[in-house]
Amino acid sequence: MGLMKVNVSAIFLLLFLASRPDVKAESVVFDVTKYGNEEDICKAFKSAWEDACASTSPSTVLIPKGTYLLGPVIISGPCKAAIEIQVKGKLQAPEDMSEFEGFSSWITLNYVDQFTLTGGGTFDGQGKLASNQRTCGKDKHCKLPPVSLKFNFITNGIVHDITSTDSKYFHAHLLGCKNLTFQHFTITAHDESLNTDGIHIGRSKDIKIIDSDIGTGDDCISLGHGSRQITIEGVTCAPGHGISIGSLGKSQNEESVSGVFVKNCTISNTQNGVRIKSWPALFGGLASDIHFEDIIMKNVSNPIVIDQVYCPWNECNKKSPSKVSIRNVSFKNIRGTSRTPVAVQLSCSKDIPCKEVEVANIDLRYTGSEGPAKFQCSNVQPKFHGKINPSKC
């Protein structure tokens, strides 16, 4: 009887632990250094991934401390269980652009569910040399360099405690992702590095970027069409071009952007602060339910912007209004300094004026010598609440 009691108690304990969400099964570890010692760990990384992805138990692909050269690589699911890439060391991309022939990105992850990328390590795109040689900021026909990290159709995932430095192009690019969180994600690139957006989101839903530091030569975070239910909170953006939605209306049949919440962020020494932009003349679209709140601007050139005459390359017809509809947008509790006189500019479409725009508790001071700060509006009638500085349009 005594033995039976012990067995029943043990079984009950195991069932209890298994039912608790905070108790995880121990992960099976696949160390890439056990798969060969070549200078470029590309083959070892792919082999470790394939074994981990085939595991029916939760698995970890481990890159230990150290510095490793990693050529362009594509890894894909679906996997048989939850999977983690744990980067403790530094991964370096090839400097030579010819190594990326046939690749649009350095590291591509496809179709993975229950995914984690963590470890405190660094992805070094080694983009300084490439950015000095290319002219993609001036020549629209140039061949685009590779994105550092491309996430395609990743679901139920988290990227945390990871650093991306000196990307040759975008640092992180999301397509078709759902329920993916970036936390304590650090991005660093010099402020003159062209087109090095920090995180670009497209056709993705339920994305969170929280408690992260992003400094780059383009948009810290950019949202393309099809971005829905996006939360950006506790992000420091410095330097860069700010946090941007768009540009929209460039292509036919673009999906709408909706449910964007940007709050408790600090934006410093950037070209723009928070911005919504669309092309004139081209195609229709919708951006709605977008809210910017509790944001500090420090020496930002254009702190608050709606720009529906966005026209790089000077190749669009600015006289023909944008066909993108912008509505239900709010700017609340935004304060700090502007390094240009126009601290707030809301330039909406003549054919489709912005609707339901709310501006509340704005305090932006111009730090230059060209007179007081200005608030400019066109084709919009905002609803104002609380203190408004500069004086409302």
What letter does residue 143 receive in the DSSP assignment? P
| Contact indicator for 256, 288 with CB cutoff of 8 Å | yes
Strands 59-63 and 105-110: unpaired
> Is residue 171 annotated as a catalytic residue, yes or no?
no
Q: What is the identity of the amino acid at 321?
A: P
| Contact indicator for 345, 376 with CB cutoff of 8 Å | yes
Query: Of residues 171, 173, 225, 241, which has the active-site annotation?
Result: 241
Report the distance separating Cα 147 and Cα 104, nearest Å.
6
Report the distance separating Cα 150 and Cα 305, nearest Å.
28
Report the distance separating Cα 384 and Cα 388, nearest Å.
8
- In sequence order, what are the residues at sequence separation of 6 or more whose Cβ sits closer than 8 angstroms to the Cβ of residue 61? 30, 32, 45, 48, 49, 52, 83, 84, 85, 86
**H helix or E strand, kind and range, residue 18:** helix 2-19
C-alpha triplet 224, 346, 243: angle, nearest 5°: 35
Report the distance separating Cα 41 and Cα 91, nearest Å.
9
- In sequence order, what are the residues at sequence separation of 6 or more whose Cβ sits closer than 8 angstroms to the Cβ of residue 227? 201, 202, 203, 204, 205, 207, 245, 257, 260
Q: In whole angstroms, how far apart are CA 164 and each of 41, 48, 114, 172, 378? A: 18, 22, 22, 9, 39
Q: Is the peptide bond before 239 cis (omega within 30 degrees of 0)?
A: yes
**H helix or E strand, kind and range, residue 4:** helix 2-19
Q: What is the identity of the amino acid at 60?
A: T
DSSP symbols for 243-306: EEEEEESSSTTPPPEEEEEEEEEEEESBSEEEEEEE-SSS-EEEEEEEEEEEEEEEEESEEEEE
Backbone angles phi, psi at 38, to 5 degrees: -70, 155
Q: Which residues are catalytic?
A: 241
